[in-house]
Structure 1
Amino acid sequence: MVISGQAPVRAIRYSPSSDTARHGVEVMTLRSLRERMGPGEFTAPQCPRFHLIALVTEGHGTHAVDFRSGELHPGTVWWVRPGQVQQWGNVYDYEATIVLLEDGVLGPIARSSLTGSPMRWRCCWHLDENQSGSNLVAPLIAHLSTVFDQSGPGAAPLLRHLANTLLITLLDIAPPDPGPAPTIGSSTVDTFAQAVEDGFTRTRSVSDYARELGYSEKTVTRAVRAATGLTAKQFIDERVILECKRLLSHTERTTGSIADDLGFSDVSNFTKFFAARTGMSPTEFRRSARPPRW
């Protein structure tokens, strides 16, 4: 794992530490990661360019992903996806098994299941022993670790198969994001969420997305509200606000530059948009941002 980029947030690209890891899968303990990288690795926010999944095995701690902080204890899973920003807590307070997955490892089933908005991704949860599938996670990670430790370069197909099985299992058992459960229009919402992810820097108009997807604006709004409790416009605005917060917190870019990149006509409109949805100006948020609780 090699660090590149500049503080205050560092982009981390996948760089294998062994011939086996060159297949896009690497398994390690948090202890070994601490020993290899040193305490300075964990002080600043990071933006991995790969999937990072951890299963806590002992101790207690915290881990924050995109301004949401989760409590860690044995049986907790946390999952950072490419492009998200993570902030480690005290990594000496707990132990975990960590799986790194390059995005190219994902098969078609896992990849199709990972579409949508990062606002709706569950990043940290505790495994429920009474939930079907939860008892598979620890054995899957243990098997993946054994294959990684004991196999040579020819282990790629098995490693990738196990990695995809782990991802699909986690997606199947992850609790829903807080809010109303989906009832109707889930495929419509998935398609809409992906369109927003691809286009939120271009447009914040519900009608633009509805036209692009071939739906009526009313159909999109009804489906999104049923699935998320938000209007379609609120859903779009939440995604824009998340990106605003990322850029304000983790870069030194001016508000004018951020406003331009996110498609605002001028700084004044950007400031009004941000303040109306967060209760503070971009400058105030940059000065005082703290990760809220899960």
Structure 2
Amino acid sequence: MVTTGQLPPASRTDLSRPGTEADQHRLTTVALRELVPEPGWLRPVLLDAELLILVTGGHGTAELDFRALPCRPGTLLRARAGQVLRCLGPHLDATVVRWDAETLRGLDVDPDTVPAYRQLAGEDEDAVISEVTQLAVDADRHAGVPAAGSLLRHQLAVLLLRLALLPTVEERSVPRPEAETFARLCREVERGYQHTRRVEDYAMQLGCSVRTLTRACLAVTGRSAKQIIDERVALQASRLLAATDEPIARIGRRLGFPEPTNFGRFFTRELGVSPGAFRANRERPIPIRVVRPRPPADSPAAPGRA
């Protein structure tokens, strides 16, 4: 076991090699700088894997889905595939654990119970640093060993369970029926936001009334069901505008706007700037108005998490 409270310099370790269990369960440890193709994080990166990021040195800011999060040693970030990330700050270093959707299949752990942001301290920080370090060391030491994939999967599960059990800021009390309805709506929106923004369509899918959906959303977030749906569409548009070079009209079509003018009006209403202006400013830290990250679709308690 490595010494608690100390992390060695992170190095890339990839276990998805022929003949190992990681062929189906890809899990890697990398340094923060390896997440971006060019130095400087000139613009956000669209993530294609699940991440845990443990800051080990320096001070700066992480922009996760356009939300600015202060970072210093002991900061832990949980980022999901499909989100956009940019880290800013001189000499900001971190160890990154990266895995795909199949890595934890069959294990009794839900990575979405881990908050997106946490500043660790004391014994909790020591324990998490120790486990992340051990995972990185084992990944390097046992690379190519058939049993290594299973070992790392279980180490990751233990780490996520530990993080889920850490004390959290007290969340607003929400009646269980409203929380469950909101969670169901979030799941449906994730599946359907590219095809419809009508609350009526989601109410029909869920077998409830528009009033029920709106009441649930107001109880959990303080915003209406229509606002929740439109925010999810605007968030996806923002991700694609900031992290890709896909033409604006094509992004609009992907999100259900056949006419570019309609997409432009929608985006400007939601964010206060046009799609073109948003893209032109994507190399600047955090736009003036930002889209709030949506809670995990299967986590009713998510709105209270930082």
TM-score, length-scaled by structure 1: 0.76
Q: What amino acid is aligned across from residue 56 of structure 2 in structure 1?
A: T
Which structure shows the bigger proportion of residues in helix conformation? 1
Q: Deviations over 1:226-271 (max 9, x none)?
A: 1122111111111011111122223334433222211124223222
Q: What amino acid is aligned across from residue 224 of structure 2 in structure 1?
A: T
Q: What amino acid is aligned across from residue 262 of structure 1 in structure 2?
A: L
Equivalent position of 2:56 in the other structure: 57
Deviation for aligned residue 1:179: 8.9
Report if the CA contact (8 A) 1:180-1:228 is conserved. no
Q: Structure 1 residues 215, 16: CA separation in 2 closer, same or farther (over 3 Å shift)?
A: same
Which whole-Å CA distance do the structure 2 matches of 1:158 and 1:182 have between them?
39
Q: Structure 1 residues 238, 15: CA separation in 2 closer, same or farther (over 3 Å shift)?
A: farther
Report if the CA contact (8 A) 1:29-1:97 is conserved. yes
Whose RCO is larger (CA < 8 A, sep 6+)?
Answer: 2
Deviation for aligned residue 1:30: 4.8
Equivalent position of 2:146 in the other structure: 153
Where in structure 2 are the equivalents of 1:42-81 lying within 5 Å?
A: 42-81=41-80
Equivalent position of 1:8 in the other structure: none
Ranges in structure 2 where 5+ consecutive residues have no aligned partner? 1-11, 288-305
Q: Deviations over 1:22-66 (max 9, x none)?
A: 5522234558x59xx996485553223211212112321222222
Secondary structure class of the residue paired with 2:132:
helix
Which whole-Å CA distance do the structure 2 matches of 1:174 and 1:279 have between them?
37
Q: Deviations over 1:120-174 (max 9, x none)?
A: x9533312559xx666422322332333233333122221111123234434548
Deviation for aligned residue 1:291: 4.0
Equivalent position of 1:103 in the other structure: 101
Secondary structure class of the residue paired with 1:153:
coil
Which whole-Å CA distance do the structure 2 matches of 1:267 and 1:39 have between them?
31
% identity of equivalent residues:
34
Which whole-Å CA distance do the structure 1 matches of 2:270 and 2:56 have between them?
38
Report if the CA contact (8 A) 1:206-1:233 is conserved. yes
Which whole-Å CA distance do the structure 2 matches of 1:159 and 1:251 have between them?
32
2:244 maps to 1:246: no
Q: What amino acid is aligned across from residue 292 of structure 1 in structure 2?
A: I
Ranges in structure 1 where 5+ consecutive residues have no aligned partner? 1-13, 116-120
Aligned mate of 1:201, from 194, 198, 203: 194
Aligned mate of 1:220, from 197, 210, 213: 213
Q: What amino acid is aligned across from residue 96 of structure 1 in structure 2?
A: A
Which one is further off, 20-29 or 213-222?
A: 20-29
Secondary structure class of the residue paired with 1:57:
strand
Q: Deviations over 1:183-217 (max 9, x none)?
A: 43222222211110110011111111111012222
Which whole-Å CA distance do the structure 2 matches of 1:53 and 1:224 have between them?
29
Which whole-Å CA distance do the structure 2 matches of 1:157 and 1:27 have between them?
15
Where in structure 2 are the equivalents of 1:163-202 lying within 5 Å?
A: 163-173=156-166, 182-184=174-176, 185-202=178-195
RMSD: 3.5
TM-score, length-scaled by structure 2: 0.73
Report if the CA contact (8 A) 1:181-1:228 is conserved. no
Which whole-Å CA distance do the structure 2 matches of 1:114 and 1:129 have between them?
24
Equivalent position of 2:295 in the other structure: none
Report if the CA contact (8 A) 1:264-1:270 is conserved. yes
Q: Structure 1 residues 217, 109: CA separation in 2 closer, same or farther (over 3 Å shift)?
A: farther
Deviation for aligned residue 1:175: 5.1
Aligned mate of 1:292, from 281, 286, 291: 286
Which whole-Å CA distance do the structure 1 matches of 2:192 and 2:167 have between them?
27
Q: Structure 1 residues 39, 258: CA separation in 2 closer, same or farther (over 3 Å shift)?
A: closer
Which whole-Å CA distance do the structure 2 matches of 1:286 and 1:113 have between them?
31
Q: Deviations over 1:104-127 (max 9, x none)?
A: 102356676639xxxxx9533312
Q: Structure 1 residues 207, 128: CA separation in 2 closer, same or farther (over 3 Å shift)?
A: farther
Which whole-Å CA distance do the structure 1 matches of 2:251 and 2:38 have between them?
32
Which whole-Å CA distance do the structure 1 matches of 2:197 and 2:13 have between them?
36
Which whole-Å CA distance do the structure 2 matches of 1:104 and 1:110 have between them?
13
Report if the CA contact (8 A) 1:55-1:78 is conserved. yes
Which whole-Å CA distance do the structure 1 matches of 2:47 and 2:189 have between them?
22
Equivalent position of 2:91 in the other structure: 93
